[in-house]
Chain A
Amino acid sequence: MPADAVIGNAAVEALKNLDPHPGVAKPDPVLVADGVVRQFGGLRAVDVSHLEVQRGAITALIGPNGAGKSTFFNVISGFDTANEGTWSYNNQTITNTAPNKLARRGLVRTFQLTKSLSRLTVLQNMLLGAKGQTGENLFSAIFKFSWSAQEQANTKRAMELLGRFNLAQKSADFAGSLSGGQRKLLEMARALMLNPDLVMLDEPMAGVNPALKQSLLDHIRDIREEGTTVMFVEHDMDMVRDVSDWVVVMAQGAIISEGTPASVMRDQRVIDAYLGAHHDDALTDSGQSLTTAEETDA
């Protein structure tokens, strides 16, 4: 889709000229969050004063364990309720809107702990993602002729997507029989069945082998070329550097830095809070890598 690709590139280009600071305004935001607070008892798990997500770009959300990234995703996508704040999607307020409504409007998310539907087959998992199915109406359901054509079209699309995610030969297996990494792939493919406008992926590459990670990165780029905005949480900085147009860094619930991958990785606050001083070193010789790994986790 050349036309979309141009839009995507324009969106990406626009980001390069921004002054990178937390809460910076984007030229064409698809998602805007204001003063979003989610408290668990005394803990402010999320405390985001302002965040805009650029349409058509790939935005990475990074930060230490427990920073509040997943909670932020949960709140925005309607699976959790915020204590304070407002947020809007495509210029419409969606504060505390039910997740199923958001998904139908194109805001689709995946989960850090995969939610594959074990006792449905891989293909049935995919078909659940298709929108506007006549056969999901109780009365039409009884009459197969009313939904079989649509079902065939959906099946065709599902099989194409499964092929892209190396799952086509698994389509008839129960999703519960997939490996952890395959479930991640299935969940991402299933989200794409909805033709999302904005897809929020919570650690889509955790537990996926390196070769497949590379092809996942290609998929994520493809999704962007098709005009979908991607926001994803990831701990692997190589992946983040490779694919993202913009990086948002969270720590202790708040956004502490924003910018292009290169600028964020130079930011002293990000190095202190998340990356650790040795993040640029190759993790080859064992003595050095152990301390680095520890510092990164801390």
Chain B
Amino acid sequence: MDFGFILSQSLTQAIGVTAIIYCLAAIGLNIQFGYGGLLNFGQVAFVAVGAYAVGVVVVEVGLSLWLAILIAILAATVLALLLGVPTLRLRADYLAIVTIAASEILRFLAKSFDFLGGSQGITGSIGGDFSDLNPLPDWERFELGPISFTRVDMWLVLAGWLVIAILTVLTFLLMRSPWGRVVKGVREDEDAVRSLGKNTYLFKLQILIIGGVFGSFAGMYSAIAKGAVQPDGFVPDFTFFLYVMLILGGTARVMGPLLGAAIFWFLLVFVEQFLKEGVSSGVITFISTTQIGPVRFILVGVGLMALIVFRPEGILGDRKELMLDAR
């Protein structure tokens, strides 16, 4: 077995485009769920809106990517208002139901409208304006220790982590402020915060919008990176992976989504490559090549269960904080 290859593949995925997409969406979910306690089970809807907005505006309408990004942000805001205004005055579980339903409705709508590309989705040079900005020298490959990227991928990865850095700093600034204190208070006990004169409804609406807009960045980034928007990428599993990453990294921790997304993809690819190498070299005989896909999820799932048992607060979490509710 070539462990060097397995490792470099896993590391590439841990900081690569897919991890960045999930990380962006998880930063938004961390604000909503981690800090604010909002049960948003349809974060993927915001990702889809971001992706479709840039896809339609750039490919179908033919406007510039930068205008498309503005429109996508607006669209995500509108979606947050549509979901939040009627439900955020109600009990917390209503938002959960409405968001998961909305994300599926949006996916089916996208599949049935021709101008959204139907079940084929939208394909085209969505990221053209973005590639034109590539400042990197014209090298064959960019070597980073054990891993390497092409010029196009390197630019994508750099830009992706730059956006992640900006959103993370923004999260940090917001959460150390009195505004962030109210948001955390809402998570703990909304009525207590109302009795202290805060309009909790407005705060919840604000975090739904902010987290949703952050989520739409994941969609835009995915559309730019892949040059395509496919409806079946936006299944509910996407949102549940985000929750896994948050719990893995540590909820309500500024760096939680980053660590969670990177480790999740590292593990998933590591297990996959390990099994592949094992099967092809004849070391592993009890599964076949076609079973590798499901088996890696089983193994990663078992690993996550172990995490919940031995470190329920996640990697960055605070055990003391978690145990408070057990009293």
A: residues with CB less than 8 A from B are: 77, 79, 98-101, 103-104, 108-111, 115-120, 124, 127-129, 131, 133-138, 140-142, 144, 147, 151, 174, 176-177, 190-191, 193-194
Contact B179 A137 (CB under 8 A): yes
* Residue of B with least CB distance to A187: B192
**How many A-B residue pairs lie within 8 Å, measured between CB atoms?**
112
Instruction: Known A-B contacts: A141-B177, A142-B174, A174-B324. Give 7 more (CB < 8 A).
Output: A99-B195, A101-B197, A131-B197, A135-B177, A136-B177, A151-B178, A174-B320
Contact A127 B181 (CB under 8 A): yes
Q: Is B325 an interface residue (CB 8 A)?
A: yes
Contact A104 B197 (CB under 8 A): yes
Of the residues B181, B189, B206, contact of A138 by C-beta under 8 Å: B206
Of the residues B170, B174, B196, contact of A129 by C-beta under 8 Å: B196
Q: Which residues of B contact A135 (CB under 8 A)?
A: 177-179
Rounded to whole Å, the gap between the CB of A115 and the closest CB of chain B is 4
B: residues with CB less than 8 A from A are: 170, 173-174, 176-182, 184-185, 187-189, 191-200, 206, 320-321, 324-325, 327
Q: Which residues of B contact A118 (CB under 8 A)?
A: 188, 324-325
Between-chain CB contacts (< 8 Å), 30 pairs:
A77-B195, A79-B194, A100-B194, A100-B195, A103-B195, A103-B196, A111-B195, A117-B184, A117-B185, A117-B192, A119-B188, A119-B324, A120-B181, A128-B181, A128-B185, A129-B196, A133-B178, A134-B178, A135-B177, A135-B178, A136-B178, A141-B178, A142-B174, A144-B173, A151-B178, A174-B320, A174-B321, A174-B324, A177-B320, A191-B196
Of the residues A100, A110, A127, contact of B178 by C-beta under 8 Å: A127
Q: How far is the CA of A177 from the CA of B323 in the complex (A)?
A: 9
Q: How far is the CA of A187 from the CA of B200 in the complex (A)?
A: 18
For the complex of A and B, the 4 pairs showing the least CB-CB separation, nearest first, are: A176-B324, A135-B178, A103-B197, A115-B192
Question: B-side binding surface: helix, strand, loop or mixed?
Answer: helix
Q: Which residues of B contact A108 (CB under 8 A)?
A: 195-197
Q: How far is the CA of A103 from the CA of B320 in the complex (A)?
A: 32
With contact pairs A135-B179, A138-B179, A194-B197 given, residues A116 and B173 touching in the complex (Cβ less than 8 Å): no
Rounded to whole Å, the gap between the CB of A167 and the closest CB of chain B is 17
Q: How far is the CA of A144 from the CA of B172 in the complex (A)?
A: 12
Of the residues A120, A140, A151, contact of B184 by C-beta under 8 Å: A120
Q: How far is the CA of A110 from the CA of B196 in the complex (A)?
A: 9
Q: How far is the CA of A99 from the CA of B192 in the complex (A)?
A: 10
Q: Which residues of A contact B173 (CB under 8 A)?
A: 141-142, 144
Contact A100 B324 (CB under 8 A): no
Q: Which residues of A contact B197 (CB under 8 A)?
A: 100-101, 103-104, 108, 129, 131, 194
Of A99, A104, A108, most B-chain CB atoms within 10 Å: A99
Of the residues A100, A120, A194, contact of B185 by C-beta under 8 Å: A120
With contact pairs A138-B206, A142-B177, A147-B177 given, residues A116 and B192 touching in the complex (Cβ less than 8 Å): yes
Q: How far is the CA of A118 from the CA of B199 in the complex (A)?
A: 20
Contact B178 A115 (CB under 8 A): no
Contact A119 B321 (CB under 8 A): yes
Q: How far is the CA of A131 from the CA of B206 in the complex (A)?
A: 20
* Residue of A with least CB distance to B177: A141
